[in-house]
Amino acid sequence: MDPITHGIVGLAVAAVAGEPVAITNPYAIGCLLGAIVPDGDIVMQVKGHYSYLKNHRGISHSLPFAFIFGGVITLFLSMIFPGVSIIKLFLYSLAGCLSHLILDITNSYGAQIFWPFLNKKYTADLLLVYDPVLFLLSLTIIIPSFRDIVHPSISITLFFTYVLLRSIAKYYIKKTIKKGMVNEGEITFIRVLPSLVGLLKWHFIIKYKDKRVVGEINLFSKRLRIIDILDNLDTKLYNAIKDTEIARFFDEFTPISHIDCIKSAVGYEYYFTDLRYYAAKDYLHHATATLDENFALVSSLFQPYNKNRKVEIKI
């Protein structure tokens, strides 16, 4: 989720608990800061996009760090607001942190919530990265004039109903895709994700024995649109690249990627693609590696957000 949505949800959590949303209320501020601070890993951006994306939603989005952040926020605010209840302030700050973690595992990027015990990023693939329904329902809880019309309990019920409906829609969409794509061969893996744009659109990646199919489906029309059909990389070509830094990074960065290889005048050009995010007729994250005729790595570039951004990865 984006920081603004996280902050709005943090304030909504405090408001639901009965705390006035005001700059003079340390408990509401604690919940707000807790809901934002896990994204403090953006400080890694000073080292560039590569360092940031390599570490984003890692240890700062874990349960142990939620407690650490809650404690630091409590200590900070207790110095500004002497006389507050330390335990209450900690619980509100912790609640804000936990709301951040929960929301981040609802979308397709996921979060490493069980670090250091498990390094896997968990994701439910349910909500959009920028989810308008969540944002609007949170505002109805925060703004007093809205609360007079729609009681917070109704907004909360609507949110959980929305999540339930998204879960049902995802299950229904998955069945529809399997039925519509069965003639392509035996499906070994399928993942359904929210589209980057549009509440009614879903993105999907299917693995077959020899290829991958990327597509999009509309919930109501059930119209399948094939975006890409990608052949699996030859084993020899894959083995030549798999142990390089860029290949290891991409494997950690995304659980669903694809590698293409083209023979060039200087050797071999490898193209990595993160298949999770597709918009404006292209995928969001890419990387390129060049190997010479003897399969020795010459150069590698990470291309975050679009292909024109090129971050050199040191060999």
Q: DSSP class of residue 314?
A: P
Low-confidence ranges of the chain (pLDDT < 50): none
Which pLDDT does position 25 carry in this prediction? 96
Asked if residue 3 lies in contact with residue 39, where contact means CB atoms within 8 angstroms, the answer is: yes
Which pLDDT does position 240 carry in this prediction? 93
Which pLDDT does position 57 carry in this prediction? 73
Burial of 182 (0-12, 13-18, 19+ CB in 10 A): exposed
Hey, is 251 helix, strand or coil? helix
Whether this prediction's pTM lies above 0.85 is answered by yes
Q: CA gyration radius for the chain?
A: 22
Q: How far is the C-alpha of 32 from the C-alpha of 77, rounded, in Å? A: 12
What would the pLDDT profile of 203-247 be if each residue is shown by its tens digit? 999 999 889 999 999 988 888 999 999 999 999 999 999 999 889
Which pLDDT does position 212 carry in this prediction? 93
Which pLDDT does position 283 carry in this prediction? 93
Q: Give the architecture-level CATH label for domain 167-230.
A: Roll (3.10)
Asked if residue 160 lies in contact with residue 152, where contact means CB atoms within 8 angstroms, the answer is: no
Which pLDDT does position 2 carry in this prediction? 84
Longest Cα–Cα distance in the chain: 72
